[in-house]
């Protein structure tokens, strides 16, 4: 096994990815988007290739280890393989270039790509089933100055996370946010920094909205459309065709939907049309933006459409932002009693939180020795493999925009820090405060909240 922290020495010394006669992992990779006969032919041909076992093991080990990304950097020196687990990259023992090349030939061939092309970007998708779970793996390869870089994104075919609670949203906030989503005559913004899980939260927010009594439609760019969401009818505009955003919006408007879902606000004309729908037809709209916090999201939307800023502020009802953090492993987290000074610093009233938790992180192998340098057995938690954390969750910031807040936004839109201060004075909870609440519930650690606040 490549992934995980083996105690055995050879794992640390760059063991080969596949042992000589090790059995192949029980999975197959099947290209998606290629006709069935062609796909079968490609699979049969690839099974004969020397790199086939390595190609399978890299994927199987990533899935077994709960990684959701694999990154392989090819350079003259060799190939460096990294797995991403709970948002953190871990480097695997070095892989020799010949084995890594052989695996890459398999991936490219099975996806109908050109193995000889090592510079231009190539993309493909394959499906796999491992331990009774279906996975979809996106593959991208492209030349970089040091050689070639290959990225795999591994997703469950049927998403595991289904509710806002699954994401880590506390109950009180769920009620508030659902009321916002199911409200009328307003604009809701869903946001997160890059790589902080915005697509997942967007999907779950829409899936959990009330779509049975109201018609939800989305207007999306055909070239990067979102996955389908039940009971949200998708309409697509396409650059260079008669299906311009304006034409599609007009077509959709005539169907008189209740809620417009706009992954992007597209352009000033569309913003104007949406504002009209909200103000004269009592419609609702939801959009999303990559932003560092709720205030940043508001400011980004306003500065993208300065001519409509005033009208946009009038219809804004709420903004959700989120950042991902790691969950403590329940099996090995260590309770400690916070000092009164610490509680005071965290703004927690005395006596409210008897325990906080730290992760259990075993010392590195070379330090697992006694005073005489003799090795000491160190038990490593089997559930989290000694990482101290298991899985991720989101910390949410939910900004409710009422008339007082609207006035403040109009006045302070160019001064985000003052805007944040004003919101705080009205009991708006920032990430830091929401994070401390999560620590008090024992689901994460203060270190993890510090990491989140420092933007690492």
381 makes contact with Zn ion (CB under 5 A): yes
383 makes contact with Zn ion (CB under 5 A): yes
Contact between residue 440 and residue 348 where contact means Cβ atoms under 8 Å apart? yes
Listed in sequence order, the residues at least 6 apart from 269 whose beta carbon sits closer than 8 Å to its beta carbon are 245, 246
Binding map of Zn ion across residues 109-128, x = CB under 5 A, - = no contact: --------------------
Select 329 or 394, whichever has its Cβ closest to Zn ion: 329
Per-residue DSSP letters for 423-444? HHHTT---HHHHHHHHHHTTSS
Select 4 or 78, whichever has its Cβ closest to Zn ion: 4
Select 201 or 385, whichever has its Cβ closest to Zn ion: 385
Select 290 or 380, whichever has its Cβ closest to Zn ion: 380
Strand segments, DSSP code E, in 8-121 are 30-31, 69-75, 78-85, 88-91
Select 331 or 404, whichever has its Cβ closest to Zn ion: 331
Select 33 or 363, whichever has its Cβ closest to Zn ion: 363
Q: Which of 39, 161, 332, 412 binds Zn ion (CB under 5 A)?
A: 332
329 makes contact with Zn ion (CB under 5 A): yes
Phi-psi region of 420 (alpha: psi -120 to 50; beta: other; left: phi over 0): alpha
# chain residues binding Zn ion, by CB under 5 A: 6
- Least distance from Zn ion to the Cβ atom of residue 438, Å: 18
- Least distance from Zn ion to the Cβ atom of residue 333, Å: 7
Nearest-angstrom CA–CA distance, 243 and 239: 8
With CB under 5 A as the contact rule, which of the stretches 60-68, 193-201, 222-230, 373-381 interacts with Zn ion? 373-381
- Least distance from Zn ion to the Cβ atom of residue 330, Å: 8
Helix (H) or strand (E) holding 46: helix 36-47
443 makes contact with Zn ion (CB under 5 A): no
Of residues 130, 123, 127, the one with CA closest to residue 151: 123
Strand segments, DSSP code E, in 60-160 are 69-75, 78-85, 88-91, 122-130, 133-144, 147-156
Q: Which of 150, 353, 384, 438 binds Zn ion (CB under 5 A)?
A: 384
CA dihedral 405, 406, 409, 412 (to 10 degrees): -80
- Least distance from Zn ion to the Cβ atom of residue 327, Å: 11
Q: Footprint of Zn ion on this chain (CB under 5 A)?
A: 329, 331-332, 381, 383-384
């Amino acid at each position: 096994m490549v992934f995980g922290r083996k105690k055995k020495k050879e794992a640390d010394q760059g063991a080969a990815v596949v042992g000589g006669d090790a059995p192949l992992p029980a999975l197959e990779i099947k290209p998606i988007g290629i006709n069935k006969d062609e796909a079968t032919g490609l699979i049969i041909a690839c099974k004969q290739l020397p790199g086939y076992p390595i190609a399978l093991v890299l994927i199987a080990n990533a899935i077994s280890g709960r990684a959701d990304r694999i990154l392989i950097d090819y350079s003259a020196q060799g190939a460096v393989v990294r797995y991403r687990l709970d948002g953190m990259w871990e480097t695997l023992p070095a892989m020799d270039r010949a084995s890594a090349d052989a695996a890459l030939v398999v991936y490219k061939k099975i996806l109908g790509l050109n193995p000889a092309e090592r510079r231009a970007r190539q993309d493909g998708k394959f499906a796999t089933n491992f331990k009774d779970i279906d996975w979809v793996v996106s593959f991208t390869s492209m030349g970089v100055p040091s050689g070639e870089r290959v990225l795999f994104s591994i997703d469950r075919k049927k998403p595991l996370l289904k509710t806002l609670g699954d994401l880590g949203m506390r109950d009180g906030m769920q009620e508030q946010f659902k009321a916002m989503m199911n409200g009328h005559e307003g604009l809701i913004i869903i946001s997160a920094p890059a790589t902080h899980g915005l697509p997942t939260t967007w999907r779950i927010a829409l899936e959990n909205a009330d779509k049975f009594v109201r018609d939800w439609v989305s207007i999306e760019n055909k070239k990067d459309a979102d996955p389908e969401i039940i009971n949200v009818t998708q309409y697509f505009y396409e650059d260079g065709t008669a299906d311009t955003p304006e034409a599609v919006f007009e077509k959709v408007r005539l169907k008189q939907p209740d809620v417009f879902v706009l992954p992007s606000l597209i352009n000033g004309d569309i913003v104007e049309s949406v504002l009209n729908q909200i103000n004269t037809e009592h419609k609702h709209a939801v959009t999303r933006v990559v932003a560092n916090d709720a205030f940043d999201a508001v400011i980004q939307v306003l500065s993208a459409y300065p001519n409509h800023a005033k009208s946009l502020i009038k219809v804004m009802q709420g903004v959700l932002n989120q950042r991902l953090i790691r969950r403590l492993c329940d099996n090995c987290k260590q309770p400690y009693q916070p000092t009164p000074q610490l509680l005071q610093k965290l703004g927690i009233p005395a006596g409210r939180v008897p325990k906080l938790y730290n992760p259990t992180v075993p010392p590195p192998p070379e330090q697992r020795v006694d005073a005489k340098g003799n090795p000491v057995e160190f038990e490593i938690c089997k559930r989290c493999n000694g990482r101290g954390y298991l899985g991720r969750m989101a910390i949410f910031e939910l900004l409710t925009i009422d008339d007082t807040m609207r006035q403040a936004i109009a006045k302070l839109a160019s001064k985000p820090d003052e805007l944040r201060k004003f919101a705080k004075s009205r009991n708006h909870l920032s990430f830091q405060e929401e994070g401390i609440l999560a620590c008090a519930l024992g689901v994460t650690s203060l270190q993890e909240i510090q990491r989140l606040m420092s933007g690492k």
